[in-house]
């Protein structure tokens, strides 16, 4: 059984690493967050001293990080994965980053005889905990077949999409569709409500037709219950959409709807910051008055 290194045990990486432990894999982990590392170590993992140290002790190195700069630093930087990875080992980057960055990192890895897959996920923390993530994989098919069983521990569906970068391209497409679906649902239900029609009845009327979707069935019941708890950090969805726009612009592909939903999300982010600032000011004023 292959020894697995796991760099980045945050909200997503932590449950993913735990699922690998439950499946019987030997895991060595590293993260700048000591508390997160401690939790995974208590579940049975070994603690690495650095990304390089993790790679030196692993056959397969999984990275799960916020964005392109972090992945480049962890893999290509000082004390990074490539400094420790030996020829024949495999890097699986499960972060959601720009496809062109995946290709750049893969080219550097090849120079050292290290194979790489980009394998971003969809499903959020709940699916990561369940081990039912949708995993979209780009890279050599023979490499994919070699680690497919490992990915299957973390995912309910594992799909090889194409060459390196294809996984992240699929993830960007996923994020565009999800964002636009949520926006369309919200706009449509506000219209129905203002027109005096019960949104629940509209939902039941349309869900079986062309307007029906997994997003609609996942989000609309929550809205009807008055549950607006976010299932994904808006900063991360903004990051994904910005990567989508950057990739599209480099490929000379117009994406006007993606641009619009990005601006809507930016406005929501600003509004949330203003409300938090206003709340802090109110608390400060109250304290002064007391």
- The answer to whether the Cα torsion of 160, 164, 166, 167 is positive or negative is positive
* Tokens 């964005």, located at residue: 67
For residue 171, indicate whether it is catalytic.
yes
- Distance between CA atoms of residues 256 and 252, nearest Å: 12
Structure tokens at 265: 């999300």
- The answer to whether the Cα torsion of 165, 36, 34, 87 is positive or negative is negative
Q: Active site residue: 127, 171, 219, 239, which one? A: 171
- Distance between CA atoms of residues 196 and 235, nearest Å: 34
- Distance between CA atoms of residues 79 and 99, nearest Å: 24
Instruction: Specify the pairing of strand 121-122 against strand 133-138.
Output: antiparallel
Contact 20, 51 (CB under 8 A): no
Q: Which residues are catalytic?
A: 171
């Amino acid at each position: 059984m292959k020894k697995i290194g796991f760099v980045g045990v945050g909200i997503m990486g932590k449950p993913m690493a735990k699922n690998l432990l439950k499946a019987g894999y030997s895991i060595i982990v590293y993260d700048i967050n000591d508390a997160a590392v401690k939790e995974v170590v208590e579940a049975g993992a070994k603690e690495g001293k650095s990304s390089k140290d993790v790679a030196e002790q692993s056959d397969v190195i999984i990275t799960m990080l916020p964005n392109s700069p972090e992945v480049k630093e962890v893999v290509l930087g000082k004390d990074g994965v490539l400094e420790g990875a030996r020829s024949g080992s495999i890097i699986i980057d499960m972060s959601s980053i720009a496809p062109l960055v995946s290709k750049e990192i893969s080219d550097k890895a090849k120079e050292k005889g290290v194979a790489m897959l980009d394998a971003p996920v969809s499903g959020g923390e709940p699916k990561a905990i369940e081990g039912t993530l949708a995993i979209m994989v780009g890279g050599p098919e023979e490499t994919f077949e070699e680690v497919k069983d490992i990915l299957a521990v973390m995912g309910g569906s594992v799909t090889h999409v194409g060459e390196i970068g294809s996984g992240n391209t699929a993830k960007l497409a996923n994020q565009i569709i999800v964002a636009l679906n949520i926006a369309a649902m919200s706009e449509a239900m506000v219209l129905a409500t203002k027109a005096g029609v019960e949104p629940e009845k509209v939902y039941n009327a349309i869900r079986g037709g062309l307007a029906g979707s997994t997003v609609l069935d996942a989000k609309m019941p929550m809205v009807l219950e008055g549950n607006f708890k976010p299932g994904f950090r808006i900063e991360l969805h903004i990051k994904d959409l910005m990567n989508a726009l950057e990739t599209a612009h480099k490929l000379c592909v117009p994406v006007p709807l993606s641009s619009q939903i990005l601006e809507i999300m930016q406005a929501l982010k600003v509004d949330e910051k203003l409300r938090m600032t206003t709340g802090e000011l109110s608390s400060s004023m109250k304290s002064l008055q007391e």
